[in-house]
Every structure is written in structure tokens, then in C-alpha cells.
Amino acid sequence: MKADLSPRTKMFLYGLMCVLLIPFVFPTWWMVTSSVKPISDIFAFPPQLVPQTYDWTTYSKVFELQPFVTQYWNSAYIAALVTAGTMLVSSMAGYAFARIRFPFADAIFMVVLLGLLIPSEVTIVPLFQMFLKAGMVNTHWPLVLVPIFGAPSVFATFVMRQFFISLPVELEEAARVDGLGRFKIFTRIALPLAKPALASVAIFTFLHSWNLYLEPVVFLSSADKFTLPQALTQYTDAYGGPMWNIQLAAATLTALPVLIIFIIAQKQFVEGLAHTGLKG
Amino acid sequence: MTVASKPTSLHHRSSYWTVARRDSLAGFLFIAPQLIGIIIFVLIPLGLVFWYSLHEWNVLANTFTYTGSANYQMLLEDPNLPAVLGATAIFSVGLVVFNLSLALLLALLLNQKLTGISIFRTLFFSPVVVSLVAWTIVWGFLLQKNGGINGMLLSVGIEGPNWLREPVTAMISVIVVQVFKNVGLNMILFLAALQGVPKELYEAARIDGAPRFKQFRRITLPLISPTIMLTSIITIVGSLQVFAQIAVLTQGGPGVTTTVLVYYLYQQAFQFHFFGYGSTLSIMLFAVVAVLTFAQWQMRKRIVFYES
């Protein structure tokens, strides 16, 4: 046990942490408050930490200038599909690599792990050509298929494998004696026990898909197909300069829901990810 | 398996499909989606990108001609390449050093017994869940010449630079923005590792009169070294993939001072439509990632105190 800290040390630590917090917290505050300032105030000097007058018309412009609702839906459904798909693919593959003995298992595992070595940026040119040939450019297929089955899901498979290795094997052996097949052992015994690992896979997969930027920029070209990260940068004036207040309003609408969910469920979030790290 | 008369086929079936064989089949079926996905979306594209890199690809004229090593020759002679590699190296090294040291500092602070510490943990972690481009846009806004940061500097009488338009400050800016966005992840991994260090060790060290700094160097650091290894691999490979921040904040500028390899690749392939040369750059990115991962894997034997 560590000795209790003296009051003076405590004050120092609190003070230090508050100063360190500024670059973590202030940008979000500045984003939200600037988004409701009239355009004349957003670059005002001295900076207004709290808006002095409010202008809500920015928010209606977010929806007027671009099909923002559609774009929001695009991001949300793609992230949901990718998350569900990755959980399925990675838990099955992870389970098989951890538990089932089949020919060439080690060799196949090494091949799959190659995905960790090859970031999707390396293969973006041929992927674009392949999807172009398949007629899938400017559709959401590349943004759904590549993350679920390609390189991004390998890390999830690895996490699931590590988790299943750590599970006691006795439960499954008892089920085998009772005559359960592999598939039922997987769905009825192993998978329900894997909830913590699945939760962390779900969290980082969702965030990865939600943040994806290079792939949408490469694959999508019409505004009603855009995902949110791409849409945010499209609020520009006639000279290509950013319309700051509108970008900030759209950014607020993008960031706040996830932030609120995080604050409500922060314990699961943080512990889930820490868990991943320890096992990974 | 033969399907002869019914009773024998049933008999054959049960004798052929032993537990081991059924398990093998189940294993293949379970890994099939992942394996087929890796073949289609990783291995075939990797082969193709190498194949493309040996060709001159003119999109407008729709020609695709074999040119052997011409693209690699071009790579060696590319006047931008030293600057691009330099920017990539500075960005990655700066990011990793700043990220890991800040993550460790924050984890050490959060590991103290203080009331309300979990609120601090939540707040330090919060940028991780803020949409990447939203986060980058706000920082871009803050870093404008007449933006919030310079406004606040001016209130205390300092005239700030045009952060994103001057070479040195632009590079510092993209590094800092990225670190604050994601340092929370490494912080949490370090915190979990710190909490796994047996408390008795510190107890024993204190009885022996070891000062705090020595405890940190001799107990904490060796025991969390597997986590340091893991986070540095993740962070380095991640730093080579940074694209959105560059695209939003600096577009690689001023000049090519913040044009990292991925951004250069994107420009060559998707803005200038040099798909052949873009593929050559992809091969180079692959080589860099592979060499770095391999080097770290080798180093782990010397650095890591034990295997978790």
C-alpha cells in the first residue's frame, strides 16, 4: 500500500491535473460554444469563453446546405453493420484459432495475422480498382465489406482468440460429453462467456468505422452517399474556405451523441478497452 | 464419402465423420469468412499493388504498360521523397515520444489515491470518443491566425504565430492534435499495467529506503515494459496511417513539410491519378511498416523484462 499523500501533495496533484486537462476538455467546450455564436463573434477578441449572444440559425444551415440527415444515417448504419459483422466474423475465427484443432491452423493464423502488418492504406489503390471493376465505387459496399472481412477485423479476431484461450476449457468439455456439437458449444457456452471481449471489440470497431476518413474520401463522390467525417469538411464557402460556424455546428452534432453515450457508459468503455490491451 | 445403399451410407457417415474430422470441418467453417476476407481484401490487393508498381498507368489515355523498375527509379529520383520521408519520420518519432511520455505521466497521476480521480480519468479519455474529424476541425479553428489560441496568447501580450502556415509550428500542431486525441487509449493501458504491479514490491523497496524515483525505475518500469512495448508498436504503426488530420489541418503544407507518406500516396494516386507511382509508394509504406514491426519484435527481447 502506498502511504497516504499529504494535503499539500494532493493540492499539487489536483492542480497539475486541472492544467493538463485544458487541451483535452477545452476544444470540445470551444466547439459547442462557438457553434452557437453569431459569425461576427467567433473570431472576437478577447475570445468569448461563454457566448454573449446566441445564434441558432447555424444549425438550420447545417441541414439546408447538405443532406445532413442522410449523411448521419449513412455513418450510423455503416458503423452498426460493420460492428455487428466484425463481432460475428472475429468471434468465430477467434474461437476456432483458440479452441479447435484443424489442419494448417497455425499456418492459417499466421496468414490472417499478416492483416495486422498491412494497413489498409497500403492496399487502397488496388482496392479502389477492384471495387471500380465490381461497380461498387460511390456505394457503401467498400466501407462495409473491407472492415468486416479485411485487415481491420484481424485485430478483433486476435483479441477474441486471446480471450477464448484464457477461458477454462472444462465447461466446453463437459458439454462435449453431453453430446453438443461445436456450433452449439460455441453459441451456447463460449459466446455468452465472451461478453466482455465482445464489448471491447464492439467499442473499438464502432469508433474505427465512425472515424473512417481516407476510405470514404476515396470511394464516395456524391453528397448523399457521404459519411459524417467527410461531410463535415464540405461546408465551405465559394473560395473553398471553411464556413467555421457551420462546420462547428455539424461537428457538435456529430460528436455530442457519442460523447454522451460514453459518459453514461464510461466504466464499461474504459475497462473494456483496458481489458483488450492487457490481453492483446 | 460414398452414398450407396441407405443403411451402409449411414454407417459410413458415422465412421468417417469422427469427432476429429467434424472438428476440422467446424474449424474451417469458423475461420472461412475471415480467411476468405483476408485473401480477397488483403493478399490479392497486396499482389496487385506490387503488379501495378511495375506499370505505367495512364488513366486518361487508358493505357497500362509494363515498365519494369521505372517507377522505383522514379521513386529514388523523386525530389520530394527526402522531404516526405523526413516529415514521416519527424511526425512518427514526435508522436510516439510525446504520446507515450504523456500517457505514462497521466497514468501515474491517475494511479494516485485521490477522491474524484475517476472523473479525471473520464475527462482525459473523452477525446478518444470524439469524432476524429470533428476534433481536428475544432483544433484547426483554434489554431487559425486570429483563432482562439492566439486570442488567448494576445490577452497576455504574446503574439502567436500562424500555427498551420509555418513549417515548424505546422508539424508541432499536427503532432499535438493527434496526441491529445488518442493519448487516452495508451493512458488506460498504462493505468491497467500500473495497477497490476504487486504493491508488496513498493512496500519492500520503501523498507529498504529506496527513493521514489528509484522505485519507479527499478520496479515500475521493468514490470510495465510489456505494455510499453505493446503501446509503442500500436502507436508507431498508427502514426504511419495518419491521414485525416493532415488532410484537414495542413493539406501537407506549408510546402511539403507535413506531407507524410500516406498523404503523399493519396495525392499521387487519387489527386494526380498516378496509380502506378502511387502503388510504388504503397509498397514503400508496406516496407516501412514491416521493417519497423520486425525491428520492434526483435528489440522486445532486450527491452521487455518479462513476457505477459
For residues B230 and A66, the model is more confident at A66
Q: What is the spatial distance between Cα B118 and Cα B242, in angstroms, rounded to a whole number?
A: 30
Mean pLDDT of B138-165: 91
Grade residue B13 by pLDDT with cuts at 50, 70 and 90.
low
In a domain, B190, yes or no: yes
Give B131's contacts in chain A (Cβ within 8 Å). 210-211, 228-229, 232, 251, 254-255, 258
Say if residues A140 and A82 touch (Cβ distance below 8 Å). no
Return the residue in B14, B18, B42, B245 with the most chain A beta carbons within 10 A, the one to mutate for interface testing.
Answer: B42
Q: What is the DSSP string of A200-229?
A: HHHHHHHHHHHH--HHHHHH--SGGG--HH
**CB-CB under 8 Å, B129 with A269:** yes
Q: Does A149 touch chain B (CB under 8 A)?
A: yes
Give A248's contacts in chain B (Cβ within 8 Å). 137-138, 141
List A residues 17-46 in contact with B (Cβ-Cβ < 8 A): 17, 20-21, 23-25, 27-28, 30-31, 34, 43-46
- All three cell numbers of B98, joined, read 510525446
List B residues 168-207 in contact with A (Cβ-Cβ < 8 A): 176, 180, 184-185, 188-189, 191-193, 196, 199, 202-203, 206
A174 pLDDT exceeds 60? yes
In a domain, B236, yes or no: yes
Q: What is the spatial distance between Cα A45 and Cα A80, in angstroms, rounded to a whole number?
A: 43
Q: What is the spatial distance between Cα A39 and Cα A144, in angstroms, rounded to a whole number?
A: 38
Whole-model pTM? 0.89
Q: Tell me the three-class secondary structure of B236-290, residue by residue.
A: HHHHCCCCHHHHHHCCCCCCCCCCCHHHHHHHHHHHCCCHHHHHHHHHHHHHHHH
Q: Which residue of B has its CA nearest to A213?
A: B244
Please state, for a pLDDT cut of 70, what percent of chain B lies above it.
93
Q: What is the spatial distance between Cα A160 and Cα A194, in angstroms, rounded to a whole number?
A: 8
B297 pLDDT exceeds 80? no
Mean pLDDT of A164-180: 85
- Give backbone dihedrals phi and psi of A243, rounded to 5 degrees, phi first: -85, 95
Q: Does A237 touch chain B (CB under 8 A)?
A: no
AA identity, residue A59:
Y
**Residue-wise pLDDT tens digits, B81-101:** 999 999 999 999 999 999 999
Q: What is the spatial distance between Cα B230 and Cα B297, in angstroms, rounded to a whole number?
A: 10
Grade residue A20 by pLDDT with cuts at 50, 70 and 90.
very high
Q: What pLDDT was estimated at residue B302?
A: 67
Q: What pLDDT was estimated at residue B181?
A: 94
Grade residue A3 by pLDDT with cuts at 50, 70 and 90.
low
In a domain, B200, yes or no: yes
Q: Which CATH number belongs to the domain containing residue B110 in this structure?
A: 1.10.3720.10
C-alpha angle A140-A146-A149 in degrees, rounded to nearest 5 = 130
Grade residue A177 by pLDDT with cuts at 50, 70 and 90.
confident
In a domain, B246, yes or no: yes
For residues A45 and B166, the model is more confident at B166
In a domain, B212, yes or no: yes
The mean pLDDT of chain A is 89
**Residue-wise pLDDT tens digits, B15-74:** 788 878 888 899 999 999 999 999 999 999 999 999 999 998 877 777 888 888 888 998
List A residues 43-72 in contact with B (Cβ-Cβ < 8 A): 43-47
Q: Identify the domain containing residue B258 by its residue range.
A: 79-303
A269 pLDDT exceeds 70? yes
B293 pLDDT exceeds 90? no
Mean pLDDT of B219-239: 86
Say if residues A67 and A162 touch (Cβ distance below 8 Å). no
Mean pLDDT of B147-173: 91
Grade residue A279 by pLDDT with cuts at 50, 70 and 90.
very low
B300 pLDDT exceeds 80? no
The mean pLDDT of chain B is 88
Residue whose C-alpha cell is 469538411: A233
A280 pLDDT exceeds 50? no
Residue whose C-alpha cell is 464557402: A237
- Considering only A9-18, A25-34, B58-67, which range has the smallest mean pLDDT? B58-67
A45 pLDDT exceeds 90? no
In a domain, B55, yes or no: no
Grade residue B7 by pLDDT with cuts at 50, 70 and 90.
very low
Grade residue A229 by pLDDT with cuts at 50, 70 and 90.
very high
For residues A139 and B5, the model is more confident at A139
In a domain, B53, yes or no: no
**CB-CB under 8 Å, A150 with B126:** no
Structural domains of chain A, with CATH: 69-279 (1.10.3720.10)
Mean pLDDT of B235-262: 92
Of B26, B127, B141, the CB nearest to A100: B26
Give A157's contacts in chain B (Cβ within 8 Å). 34
Grade residue B123 by pLDDT with cuts at 50, 70 and 90.
very high
| Total number of domains constituting chain B | 1
Say if residues A242 and A253 touch (Cβ distance below 8 Å). no
